[in-house]
Structure 1
Amino acid sequence: MNILLKRVLDRLVRTGNLKVTGPKGSTVIFGDGSGEPVHMHIKTKHAERSISFDPMLAVPEAYMDGELDILEGGVLGVMRIAFQNMGSGGIDATWTKAIEGLRHAFRRLQQINTTSRSRRNVQRHYDLSGDLYRLFLDEDMQYSCAYFEQPDMTLDEAQVAKKRHIAAKLRLKAGQTVLDIGSGWGGLGLYLAKAFDVDVQGVTLSTEQHGVATDRAHAQGLQDRVHFDLKDYRELNERFDRIVSVGMFEHVGVNHFRTFFEKSATLLKPDGVMLLHTIGRSGVPWATSAFVRKYIFPGGYIPSLSEVMPAIEKSGLVVTDVEILRLHYADTLKHWGQRFAANRDKAKAIYDERFCRMWEFYLAASEAAFRWQDLVIFQIQIAKKNDTLPMTRDYMAKCEKALELREIGHRQETAAAEPAVARSVAAKSVAARSAAAKPARRRKVLDRE
């Protein structure tokens, strides 16, 4: 094994059970032997050298290119060992810490997200084939953290619970106008329109998502109340009663935080309320993962709360509630990873083997970051005025419960209607067969005559 790589791993992996086989076939074991075993096979000298100098980027690249295989433990196991050791005094003593420090220092240069650049960044990820996303997302195509009210919830149930949770914090009233910044495939906007009789305008920079969302609005007969625009939020001039943004703020970039909230302030009516749902850090500000920035979300940045709050304060908006969702996204990503694995051959048919390995690493590494690193979800409720919302949070729970009961009632009505529909269809089928049989019997009588 490369001497430099052996030194890096000796200093990094103090706990865990990591086995590494090098290009020549020799195997070295690192860690104290605790936990589930992980076995990596570095197949080329090129990968071995690259990992020695920049492991956080070179490991996923080598995996994507087939120069590294994980024989035991999977990507999740590799990342578990990496993240659980990063605070143990190992990586802090190596110069790889300096590489990550430089990435943090230059993060603003990587996030100059002008309107045109934001559009290109979004197209890199969200304009991938919709068929790919259908392979691992829930039925409603919610591509953001679900809300697991109960640990045994299915992914679809938890995504519906997420929509209820967000809707309750908006305190919606019939007839209000809602802006959905980063509207995705339209599921949240359509849900709000149906549940609260509000008018929704969604904006996205993804051509693929815009087309799907628009088609869904027409298919559900909601095109007069829900419409989606292929537009940057900075181009809007209307005013809205409510603003919701889910999974979009991660793409704004640290340079543009103040612009985002100042624009939101101009778009909100005097009694307006906003709900921001975004990935965040529970720790200090840090650089975006080099792998994620290069291959998954160019221009993206995951902020600490200390970076978000000053931008809100300077915009003149009032923070009325903050909730931190911790392991919900880890469980969401676990579901996505399992679904992607079950449909891997279909994903490979859409793209190729390298893409599948990249996507596997992305989903597993993201799950690991939410389980063992400092990634969380911020849900920040914001208002124009301090007295717009009730003084206690009771209204949120009441709204969620009312929505849940209504959804249960709707499912029961649908289930009760299905047998009646089935009987009606069966009766029509019998009548049709009987009618078709009469001419045949008449022909037989005529034949005998």
Structure 2
Amino acid sequence: MNTDKMFYKALFKNLFFDPCDVKYWDGEVQHCGDGKAKFTILFNEEIPKGDVIKDPFLTLGEGYMTKKIDIDGDVQEVIESLYNNKESFMSNGHKYQKLIKFIPNSIKKSKSDIKYHYDIGNDFYKLWLDNTMTYSCGYFKSENDSLEQAQKNKVEHILKKLCLKENQTLLDIGCGWGELITTAAKKYNVHAVGVTLSEEQYEADKERIKKEGLEGKVEVILEDYREIKNRTFDRVVSVGMVEHVGKGRIDEYFTDVDKLLNKGGISLLHCITGVKEGGTNSWINKYIFPGGYLQSVREIIESLTGHSFYLVDVESLRRHYGRTLEHWARNFENALPEIEKMKDETFIRMWRLYLNACAASFNCGNIDIHQFLFTKGITNDIPWTREYMYTD
């Protein structure tokens, strides 16, 4: 038996929470755990053990992308089984995050990173997002809520928290395809401004604003939020953007929000959070979100309260994001005939792994997502209880 195979047999013996089989490149099958196998890991070719030892997340992720490794079973369940085994060295990959060299996110680099992920085609995203084109965590008031309803719930939940008043100004940092800014203008009669670095989103937003007759009420800007000058707003919101500001840059984000938010104004930050510092892994960093970094709750609150902000409310939506990603993953598979016309097999396997791995990470608590509501200085504009957030 070669040393690589011996390594893998020892590795997989106790890697998963559930019983499974591993079929190696020479046809041998190893059974791991007690009971009937719930899934099978297939090695279509040998991968040097040194690569796994150096960086298991990158090596095994690339192995799946290029079909050196395959899975007979549900991809999400396999990854959840990996994460649910708390004794496994891969259930918490923080020591491997130290391998990543974080490059400071300049405005130029941020534009390049956003283009990499978000400008791969509006037509691609339309195939598996819902009709609102919302690419962030939904809010499921009921287990029976559709993905589209959950996304509308999320936008309304955020707008309620912001306590919007007629004719106020609202800035959405990282506005995506415009669901929040258009809803805010239509329902609350505010002047909403969205800022994005994605050219594809920018063009789609301009078209949507015109189609819905919101010119003069809704504005979209193609630039970095750090480039906004001589404008301030009554409300500032950011949904799923701060993950892109980079390691060591959260304080810079709050400094800029401080400049953009009027005194007494209200801001909401909705973002994925790391359970500990150092939240990302090398495969995600290389193939999905280059330059991304998940701030921990401690990092965010420490930075937020170091400015002139007053923290009002913090809410975890971890289970909501797990369910959102499960919807996306199913939609992605259902849309495969159309996706295959646009993308090659390596891309498809990469995105399948990304969506399922993220669903597993939220479900298992490896990562979280929070909404932080805060004010610039002390304000009494917010109701006494949280009841206003939940009433229709």
Q: Which residue of 2 aligns with 1:390?
A: 383
Give the Cα separation in 1 of the matches to 2:279 and 2:189. 42
Q: After TM superposition, list the pairs within 5 Å mapping 1:136-151 onto structure 2.
A: 136-151=128-143
Q: After TM superposition, list the pairs within 5 Å mapping 1:334-373 onto structure 2.
A: 334-373=326-365
Q: Which residue of 1 aligns with 2:20?
A: 18
1:162-188 CA distances to partner (integer Å, 9 max, x unpaired)?
A: 111001000001100000000001111
Q: CA deviation at 1:102?
A: 5.0
Q: TM-score, normalised by structure 2?
A: 0.94
Q: CA deviation at 1:54?
A: 3.2
**Aligned AA for 1:337?**
A
2:121 equivalent to 1:120? no
Q: Match for 2:95 among 91, 94, 101?
A: 101
Give the Cα separation in 1 of the matches to 2:132 and 2:276. 34
Check the 8 A contact 2:46/2:68 in 1, yes or no: no
Q: After TM superposition, list the pairs within 5 Å mapping 1:390-429 onto structure 2.
A: 390-398=383-391, 401=392
Q: Which residue of 1 aligns with 2:60?
A: 59
Q: After TM superposition, list the pairs within 5 Å mapping 1:134-173 onto structure 2.
A: 134-173=126-165
1:17-42 CA distances to partner (integer Å, 9 max, x unpaired)?
A: 121101101011112337x7010111
Q: Which residue of 2 aligns with 1:240?
A: 233
**Aligned AA for 1:345?**
P
Q: CA deviation at 1:219?
A: 0.6
Query: Which secondary structure does the structure 2 equivalent of 1:323 belong to?
Result: strand
Q: After TM superposition, list the pairs within 5 Å mapping 1:246-261 onto structure 2.
A: 246-261=239-254
**Aligned AA for 2:218?**
V
Unaligned runs of 5+ in 1: 402-449
Aligned length: 387
Q: Which residue of 2 aligns with 1:78?
A: 78
Q: Which residue of 1 aligns with 2:89?
A: 91
Q: Which residue of 2 aligns with 1:410?
A: none
Q: CA deviation at 1:345?
A: 1.7
Q: Which residue of 2 aligns with 1:272?
A: 265
Query: Which secondary structure does the structure 1 equivalent of 2:368 belong to?
Result: strand
Give the Cα separation in 2 of the matches to 1:147 and 1:210. 25
Greater fraction helix: 1
Q: Which residue of 1 aligns with 2:35?
A: 33
2:222 equivalent to 1:230? yes
Q: CA deviation at 1:254?
A: 2.6
**Aligned AA for 1:390?**
P
Check the 8 A contact 2:128/2:332 in 1, yes or no: yes
Percent identity among equivalent residues? 35
2:7 equivalent to 1:4? yes
Check the 8 A contact 1:47/1:62 in 2, yes or no: no
2:319 equivalent to 1:327? yes
Q: Match for 2:256 among 250, 263, 271?
A: 263
Query: Which secondary structure does the structure 2 equivalent of 1:321 belong to?
Result: strand
Distance 1:52 1:74, change over 3 A: farther
Q: CA deviation at 1:7?
A: 1.7
Higher relative contact order (CA 8 A, sep 6+): 2
Give the Cα separation in 2 of the matches to 1:102 and 1:45. 22
Q: CA deviation at 1:48?
A: 6.4
Bigger drift between 285-294 and 174-183 goes to 285-294
Check the 8 A contact 2:318/2:365 in 1, yes or no: no
1:236-280 CA distances to partner (integer Å, 9 max, x unpaired)?
A: 121000001001011111311011001101111112100111111
**Aligned AA for 1:103?**
Q
Q: CA deviation at 1:55?
A: 2.7
**Aligned AA for 1:273?**
I
Give the Cα separation in 1 of the matches to 2:161 and 2:283. 34
Check the 8 A contact 1:57/1:290 in 2, yes or no: yes
Q: CA deviation at 1:103?
A: 2.4
